[in-house]
Amino acid sequence: MKSQRAVALLLVLILPLGFAGIWRLQHGIDSQLAAVSQERDDVLLRSGKLVKWMSLEYSPLLADIYWTRVVQYYGNKHVRRQANLEMLWPLLDVTTTLDPNLVVAYRFGAMFLSQAPPAGAGRPDQAVELIRRGIQANPDYWRLYEDLGFVYYFDLKDYQKASEAFLEGSKKPDALVWMKVMAAKIAAEGESFSTSMFLWNDIYESSSDPLIKKNALQRLELLKAQEDCKQLNALADEYAKRNGRRPARMSDLVQAGLLRGVPADPEGFAYVFGEDGKAEINLDSPLLEQQLLLERLNKAVPR
């Protein structure tokens, strides 16, 4: 009897706790389902044109409301480190359709879309589409070209399109000079020598700032030196085919009839072959310091 009473007493104590735990679990599940349902309700009308037609003259106000919801949606997902951001594009689509001039939605919306999960949606393609829509509606706002260039550069690794975006943006009213600088820099990284030379020369000719002119001239000289070394390496490859070894000195190419004379960089210092047999800038040339400094800066900037 005592054991039966003990069991009964234990059940009396445990069952309420168990029911309480089950209730809390169910309540949590219901809350999550309600949140998902709310997210879906927010974009129940996925047609931005339809929402705009229904909003009549209140479209800009409704766009602000939808943009607030975009920020809340992204913020909640970001805090919970959730990678599922499937509702982000529909919300941005409706927002920018309601108010095509809401520039903040294009700029920050593209950032939310382009970043890799869980920080963002991992959809740089949608970010590009959003920014291009913004450019179409706001053609003179140069910052959108800046955003487009960075998406191409950092997320898509498409240097040519990134350079084109910065260059096009540099032509817009009030655009800062560094937009053209970025176009030239990225063109060089993307191995577009002629484009980069043209852009840096244009910067040098059009700028009145002595520091900008000095920097542009140094870049032009470095680009020329890099292109010279590339051509010298091609001649060294030809020399190696003929002689079974790479040249040790520039004079070897002259003696082989591949060069008329020992070439020099824009500062007047003769090029040399390094230990690896590749052409490089002379240790005594001022350009070498500039090249090393540029390489350090490039390594310091994360990609």
Nearest Cα residue to 284 out of 296, 297, 272: 272
pLDDT of residue 19: 42
Q: Which two tokens stand for residue 172?
A: 């817009």
Pairwise pLDDT comparison (116 vs 243), residue with the higher score: 243
Pairwise pLDDT comparison (171 vs 46), residue with the higher score: 171
On whether the CB atoms of residues 121 and 158 are closer than 8 A, the answer is: no
pLDDT of residue 42: 46
pLDDT of residue 182: 87
Query: With bands split at pLDDT 50, 70 and 90, how would you rate the model's confidence at 67?
Result: very high
- Distance between CA atoms of residues 186 and 150, nearest Å: 10
pLDDT digits (tens, 9 = 90+) for 209-218: 887 888 889 8
Nearest Cα residue to 199 out of 231, 167, 174: 167
pLDDT digits (tens, 9 = 90+) for 98-123: 999 999 999 999 999 998 887 889 99
pLDDT of residue 104: 95
Q: Which sequence spans correspond to the domains of the chain?
A: 43-138, 222-300
What mean pLDDT, rounded, does the chain reach?
82
Pairwise pLDDT comparison (228 vs 74), residue with the higher score: 228
Mutual angle of helices 103-114 and 88-98, in 10-degree steps: 170
pLDDT digits (tens, 9 = 90+) for 141-172: 999 999 999 899 888 989 999 999 999 999 99
| Of 90-94, 219-223, 298-302, the least confident | 298-302
* Torsion sign across C-alpha atoms 189, 190, 194, 198: negative
pLDDT of residue 52: 60
